[in-house]
């Protein structure tokens, strides 16, 4: 339909991020972003797991023989570029989580505007176990979703959080069935007739709301509303309202 599905497909490694997968994200995310026929995006993993985080063996191979510490820094910054494009995608992004969402996989899960979790889903900010700090925006996303103290506890303990607790903490929008991909596709299809541009602008501004001054939000609001007022969607929606016809977009519970 109108939904793009991105599937992390290394089930033999619980979909751990290797160099090829990183390159695929770099290539595919702009394609999905720029395709106007796509109204929503579902990100999931193959083989019963979402993503186990970074592939340690792949990371070691990537840095083997490199003496310059800035090579590692540039590699991380390369990750941030495509991750930011996913995080700021001006379309609804739904993450369908089954099994493990550990480390960078946790960050990928939390990049969703809506995190749907199977009962088997497990979340872990695992980095402390190998002497790392949370990466792929983990230190940015976690405090905003669960609060500062809870985020520190998750990072310091590296404990595994089951789906019900993750929902209670604010990481998970909804616990669905074990067929979480089908549930996510049904959820995403609700956006097929949505005002994508208006929602996209709302998302972009809200993603920065915690670090943006109120006056700047006002400026963004004024600009967005001016653009939306001239949009074809708004004109059609108003015409339908006046004619007492069914709305273009109505959320289906």
What per-residue confidence (pLDDT) applies to 219?
96
What per-residue confidence (pLDDT) applies to 85?
96
CA angle 41, 42, 43 (to 5 degrees): 120
Q: How far from the centroid of its chain's Cα atoms is residue 198's Cα?
A: 19
Q: Could you identify the residue written with the tokens 């969402």?
A: 101
Q: Rounded to 10 degrees, what is the CA torsion of 87, 90, 92, 98? A: -30
12: buried, middle or exposed (CB in 10 Å: 19+, 13-18, 0-12)?
exposed
**What is the residue-level pLDDT of the chain in tens, covering all 253 positions?**
899 999 999 999 999 999 999 999 999 999 999 999 999 999 999 999 999 998 777 666 555 556 677 887 888 888 899 999 999 999 999 999 999 999 999 999 999 999 999 999 999 999 999 999 999 999 999 999 999 999 999 999 999 999 999 999 999 999 999 999 999 999 999 999 999 999 999 999 999 999 999 999 999 999 999 999 999 999 999 999 999 999 999 998 7
> In sequence order, which residues have a C-beta less than 8 Å from that of residue 237 and are 6 or more positions away?
195, 247, 248, 249
Coil/strand/helix, residue 122: strand
Give the Cβ contact number of residue 95 at 10 Å: 28
What per-residue confidence (pLDDT) applies to 54?
84
The per-residue b/e assignment along 200-217, b for 16 or more CB within 10 angstroms, e otherwise, is: bbbbebeeeeeeeeeeee
User: pTM here?
Assistant: 0.92
Tokens of 76: 């991380």
> In sequence order, which residues have a C-beta less than 8 Å from that of residue 234 and are 6 or more positions away?
195, 198, 228
């Amino acid at each position: 339909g109108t939904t793009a599905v991105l599937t992390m497909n290394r089930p033999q490694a619980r979909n751990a991020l290797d160099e090829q997968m990183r390159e695929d994200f770099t290539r595919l995310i702009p394609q999905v972003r720029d395709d106007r026929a796509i109204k929503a995006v579902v990100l999931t993993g193959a083989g019963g797991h979402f993503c186990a985080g970074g592939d340690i063996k792949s990371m070691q191979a990537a840095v083997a023989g490199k003496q310059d510490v800035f090579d590692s820094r540039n590699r991380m910054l390369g990750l941030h570029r495509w991750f930011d494009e996913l995080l700021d995608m001006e379309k609804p992004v739904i993450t369908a989580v089954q099994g493990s969402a550990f480390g960078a996989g946790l960050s990928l899960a939390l990049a969703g505007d809506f995190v749907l979790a199977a009962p088997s889903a497990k979340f872990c900010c695992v980095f402390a176990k190998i002497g790392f700090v949370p990466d792929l925006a983990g230190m940015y996303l976690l405090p905003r979703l669960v609060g500062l103290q809870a985020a520190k506890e998750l990072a310091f303990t590296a404990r595994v959080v089951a789906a019900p607790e993750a929902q209670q903490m604010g990481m998970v929008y909804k616990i669905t069935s074990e067929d979480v991909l089908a549930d996510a596709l049904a959820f995403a299809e609700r956006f097929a007739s949505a005002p994508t541009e208006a929602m996209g602008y709302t998302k972009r501004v809200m993603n920065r709301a915690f670090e943006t001054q109120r006056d700047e939000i006002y400026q963004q609001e004024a600009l967005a509303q001016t653009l939306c007022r001239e949009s074809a969607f708004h004109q059609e929606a108003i015409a339908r309202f006046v004619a007492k016809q069914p709305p273009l977009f109505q959320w289906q519970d």
